[in-house]
């Protein structure tokens, strides 16, 4: 069956409490802070149906997301579900999804606020509920709203700030629109998002000074596998820098599991071309270590401090 579904139910019961039903666009907006897996959905066309659905293009904000069948060979829909082979011969039946209440709207008109404190990022909060039974959840760039009264035809809205508090969000905004303006939460000033990014090829290496605010270095880099099994991969920038009396290409080390977990699409492409260049972003100070230029950063926080994207 090749049917596309207008809505789906989160398979994760914790997420389902806050978001009982989602459109593909809403699921895309909740990724990766709330929804983390494109297969974490089930059919919403019948209350007893638990057929798996997959959200296509969940992680691609510049493309249109869509719910499609999670099982292509076997129809797993409940016999009473409109998408069941026993109930409907059409590949895309008309379904009335309106029996479930929506909890939030798609528009956002608040301020863009940049969070860049200290040397590390705070981990995103999980969905929660307040003491009055109102369910809330955070959307990246969307309004947060509460469940409407049962007799209401409109959703109540509450304007919220668009918080850019993770490296992933900051990189996505930078790559999309470098000139986009944000309010710097630390200083209260309005700046362009590009002002917190420092090209690795620039001559400004003053971020090596510990007292200066840690910015984000970025540039083209290679992903290099270790020569010995069990050792860490190294990510090495393609530009040669001079720091003190040392010249070299800055690098940092990361374990294989983190690379394949956080950047599975990139690593699949890398396996076919291990000399490929990628865009790498890292928020850390440069340092000299045994005659090499590396980044001074603890291994425990490194996964949140670097990000990789494919070249445009």
Q: What is the pLDDT of residues 136-178, one digit of tens each?
A: 333 333 333 333 444 444 444 555 678 888 899 999 999 998 9
- Closest by CA to 175, choosing from 204, 139, 143, 218, is 218
Neighbours of 123 (CB within 10 A): 10
* pLDDT score recorded for residue 191: 92
Omega prior to 255 cis, within 30 of 0: no
87-143 pLDDT tens trace: 654 545 566 554 444 555 545 556 788 888 766 775 544 444 343 333 333 333 333
Sign of the alpha-carbon dihedral angle for 123, 115, 121, 33: positive
Percent of the chain surpassing pLDDT 70: 74
Residue 36's CB is within 10 A of a number of other CB atoms, namely: 13
Q: Contact 154/103 with Cβ under 8 angstroms?
A: no
Q: Tell me the longest C-alpha to C-alpha distance in the chain.
A: 75
| This prediction's pTM | 0.57
Domains annotated on the chain, with CATH: 1-91 (no CATH), 101-196 (no CATH), 200-309 (2.40.50)
């Amino acid at each position: 069956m090749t049917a596309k579904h207008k809505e789906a139910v989160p398979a994760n019961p914790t997420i389902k409490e806050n978001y009982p039903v989602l459109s593909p666009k809403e699921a895309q907006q909740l990724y990766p802070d709330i929804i983390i897996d494109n297969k974490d959905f089930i059919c919403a066309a019948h209350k007893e149906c638990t057929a798996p659905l997959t959200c296509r293009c969940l992680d691609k904000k510049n493309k249109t997301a869509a719910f499609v069948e999670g099982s292509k060979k076997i129809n797993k829909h409940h016999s009473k579900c409109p998408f069941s082979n026993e109930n409907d011969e059409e590949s895309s039946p008309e379904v009335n999804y309106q029996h479930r209440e929506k909890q939030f709207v798609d528009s956002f008109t608040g301020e863009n606020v940049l969070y860049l404190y200290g040397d590390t990022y705070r981990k995103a909060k999980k969905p929660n509920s307040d003491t009055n039974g109102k369910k809330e959840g955070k959307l990246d760039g969307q309004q947060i709203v509460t469940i409407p009264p049962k007799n209401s035809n409109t959703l109540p809205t509450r304007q919220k700030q668009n918080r850019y508090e993770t490296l992933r969000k900051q990189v996505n905004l930078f790559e999309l629109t470098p000139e986009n303006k944000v309010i710097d939460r630390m200083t209260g000033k309005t700046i362009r998002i590009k002002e917190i990014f420092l090209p690795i090829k620039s001559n400004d290496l003053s971020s090596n000074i510990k007292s200066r605010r840690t910015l984000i270095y970025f540039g083209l880099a290679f992903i290099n596998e270790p020569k010995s099994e069990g050792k860490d991969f190294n990510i090495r920038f393609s530009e040669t820098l001079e720091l003190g009396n040392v010249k070299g290409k800055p690098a940092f080390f990361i374990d294989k599991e983190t690379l394949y977990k956080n950047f599975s699409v990139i690593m699949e492409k890398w396996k076919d071309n291990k000399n490929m260049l990628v865009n790498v972003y890292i928020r850390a100070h440069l340092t000299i270590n045994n005659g090499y230029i590396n980044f001074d950063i603890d291994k425990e926080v490194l996964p949140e401090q670097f990000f990789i994207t494919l070249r445009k």
